[in-house]
Amino acid sequence: MAQKPSIPKGTRDFSPVEMAKRNYIFDTIRSVFSLYGYQQIETPAMETLQTLMGKYGEEGDKLLFKVLNSGDYLSKVTDEELCERNSLHMASRLCEKGLRYDLTVPFARYVVMHRDELQLPFKRYQIQPVWRADRPQKGRYREFYQCDADVVGSDSLLNEVELMQIVDTVFCRFGIRVAIKINNRKILSGIAEVIGEADKIVDITVAIDKLDKIGIDNVNAELRADGISEEAIDKLQPIINMKGTNEEKLDVIAGLLSGSETGMKGVDETRFILNSLKAAGLKNCIDLDLTLARGLNYYTGAIFEVKALDIPMGSITGGGRYDNLTGIFGMPGLSGVGISFGADRIFDVLNALELYPDDAVNGTQLLFINFGDAEVDYCLPLVAAARNAGIRTELFPDAAKMKKQMAYANAKGIRFVALAGDNEIAEGKVTLRDMATGDQRLVDCEELVSQIKGI
């Protein structure tokens, strides 16, 4: 017996119903991006490892899927190198390309390559899959879609404000209640400075970014393992555990960071964003979360994360300001800020909360029964007329038994079935059956369209 086929762990097949749901997500997000003036681009699934490596921190580099060189990829590798079994060295010799880890670094590469063609500020969106060699678990996949919006070429904090308005608009349209969390990497740098561990900012942010996942005790243990002093860890505790309103937390952290120029700049930026969003009147709550760190090393200013309130799930949207990202590709001084919607996690949230509208997941609306060649010839113009009216319509391809064709309609959830036999043809009409109620009536083409469109 042949072995049953399988797919790699952390990947998924999607049925027609699931694809209808996913397209509802993509179409909703795409429409909001366009509403705010963002334009769509696409980049290749593969990038050179030179483009990808060193942009996500040490942990991110480990999660890159690397692609073997074409042809005889061992031809330039010596026996000594093989015997050394140095996996990192071998990967650099055998692989020149990798699957993209996110959409932001490829976007930065795109901006640098096409700099002479772009009108700045450049507002782009991108909806494509990304890949990470992570351990699969609930809500975490190795292949998943991201829906990104970024602005480059503007230092204005109004871009951050607008991106949070986009987040609010998208989740209002989905009907998902969310908490939008905000922090600033400059505040985190200021905290590292005032606790006496300025050179450990990366270690500190990587550790506290795991607070929700591993708890405060494990975060502190990781900080110790990274060489952070006990005195610094003790100073960090009241900051991590700070409570109160956004304004109260900002006032407290401003007092703590009064000696840090960088930290105070982060406070001022955050205060401007929060005050502007209050004036804009968001529907969802926005919270200053001083433990939010966003582990990616390229963030330099405001950082964002969004979590659903009515279901346990990791971050479903994230992003932030990255002033220096294009500099690593030879174009310094170009500031950017962006957000990324996790489409796969949003898919899971909408499923769990049953928030999909009926018209987003329903497929065919009308099925014409096939009684034979003469009946098909009669029905074909009616099928075309229904489709021209915007009704999703099928004609069963085979003159199969009536029972089989009706079973097909039921299995696909098709609401209406049209039957045209000798009597209907003689009158120039069809019998239209409502599969939900069992009612049926004799109608002409115009009545058929109006009855289905009127539902």
Predicted pLDDT at 334: 87
Q: pTM value?
A: 0.83
* Residue 77: inside a domain: no
* Residue 160: inside a domain: yes
Enclosing domain of residue 411? 362-453
Alpha carbons 266 and 272: distance in angstroms, whole number: 10
* Residue 62: inside a domain: no
Who has greater pLDDT, 334 or 235? 334
* Residue 38: inside a domain: yes
> Quick one: 282 and 369 in the same domain?
no
What's the average model confidence in pLDDT over 359-374?
A: 90
> Quick one: 347 and 424 in the same domain?
no
Predicted pLDDT at 88: 64
> Quick one: 370 and 345 in the same domain?
no
Residue 296, pLDDT above cutoff 60:
no
The DSSP code sequence of 42-61 is ---SEEEHHHHTTSSHHHHH
Residue 268: both structure tokens together: 């001022």
From 42-46, 137-141, 277-281, 394-398, the region with the lowest mean pLDDT: 137-141
Alpha carbons 298 and 41: distance in angstroms, whole number: 22
* Residue 280: inside a domain: yes
Under a CB-based contact definition with an 8 Å cutoff, are residues 178 and 137 in contact?
no
From 84-98, 130-144, 310-324, 365-379, the region with the lowest mean pLDDT: 84-98
Residue 330, pLDDT above cutoff 90:
no
- 121: cis peptide before it, omega within 30°? yes
Given 306, 322, 353, the domain boundary residue is 353
What's the average model confidence in pLDDT over 206-217?
A: 77
What's the average model confidence in pLDDT over 61-84?
A: 75
DSSP helix/strand/coil, 102: coil
What's the average model confidence in pLDDT over 19-34?
A: 96
Percentage of residues in the chain with pLDDT exceeding 90? 56
> Quick one: 298 and 397 in the same domain?
no
What's the average model confidence in pLDDT over 231-249?
A: 82
The DSSP code sequence of 110-156 is HHHHTGGGPPSSEEEEEEEEEE--PPPBTTB-SEEEEEEEEEES---
329: confidence class by pLDDT, cuts 50, 70, 90: confident
> Quick one: 349 and 366 in the same domain?
no
Who has greater pLDDT, 212 or 21? 21
Predicted pLDDT at 180: 96
> Quick one: 300 and 276 in the same domain?
yes
- CATH number of the domain where residue 366 is located: 3.40.50.800
Predicted pLDDT at 66: 87
Who has greater pLDDT, 219 or 448? 448
Given 290, 325, 353, the domain boundary residue is 353
Residues in the chain: 455
Under a CB-based contact definition with an 8 Å cutoff, are residues 125 and 39 in contact?
yes
What's the average model confidence in pLDDT over 295-307?
A: 84
126: confidence class by pLDDT, cuts 50, 70, 90: very high
Non-local (6+) Cβ contacts of 123 within 8 A are: 36, 37, 38, 39, 149, 150, 151
Given 328, 353, 378, the domain boundary residue is 353
**Residue set of the binding site for L-histidine:** 102-104, 132, 146, 150, 294, 298-299
Name the residue among 420, 422, 417, 455 with its Cα closest to residue 439.
Answer: 417
* Residue 64: inside a domain: no
Predicted pLDDT at 49: 87
Interval 411-424: pLDDT, tens = 998 999 999 999 99
From 44-53, 154-163, 189-198, the region with the lowest mean pLDDT: 189-198
1: confidence class by pLDDT, cuts 50, 70, 90: low
* Residue 291: inside a domain: yes
> Quick one: 400 and 274 in the same domain?
no
What's the average model confidence in pLDDT over 170-188?
A: 95
Which residue stretches of 2-78 are H helix?
16-35, 49-52, 57-62
Predicted pLDDT at 30: 97
Predicted pLDDT at 184: 94
Predicted pLDDT at 90: 63
Burial class (CB in 10 A: 0-12, 13-18, 19+), 413: middle
- CATH number of the domain where residue 311 is located: 3.30.930.10
From 16-30, 61-75, 115-129, 280-294, the region with the lowest mean pLDDT: 61-75
**Residue set of the binding site:** 102-104, 132, 146, 150, 294, 298-299
What's the average model confidence in pLDDT over 61-78?
A: 76
> Quick one: 26 and 175 in the same domain?
yes
> Quick one: 341 and 371 in the same domain?
no
134: confidence class by pLDDT, cuts 50, 70, 90: confident
230: confidence class by pLDDT, cuts 50, 70, 90: confident
Domain count for the chain, please give it. 2
Residue 398, pLDDT above cutoff 90:
yes
Name the residue among 158, 159, 54 with its Cα closest to residue 101.
Answer: 54
Residue 402, pLDDT above cutoff 90:
yes
* Residue 82: inside a domain: no
Strands (E), 269-401: 285-288, 302-308, 317-321, 336-342, 366-368, 393-395
What's the average model confidence in pLDDT over 202-216?
A: 76
AA letter at 63: L
Q: What integer best gives the mean pLDDT of the chain? A: 88
Inter-residue long-range contacts of 139-144, CB under 8 Å, 24+ positions, other chains counted: 139/313, 139/314, 139/344, 139/345, 139/348, 140/10, 140/314, 141/10, 141/11, 141/12, 141/344, 142/8, 142/9, 142/10, 142/11, 142/65, 143/8, 143/10, 143/11, 143/12, 144/342, 144/343, 144/344
> Quick one: 192 and 332 in the same domain?
yes
Residue 315, pLDDT above cutoff 80:
yes
111: confidence class by pLDDT, cuts 50, 70, 90: very high
> Quick one: 104 and 174 in the same domain?
yes
What's the average model confidence in pLDDT over 102-108?
A: 90
> Quick one: 298 and 325 in the same domain?
yes
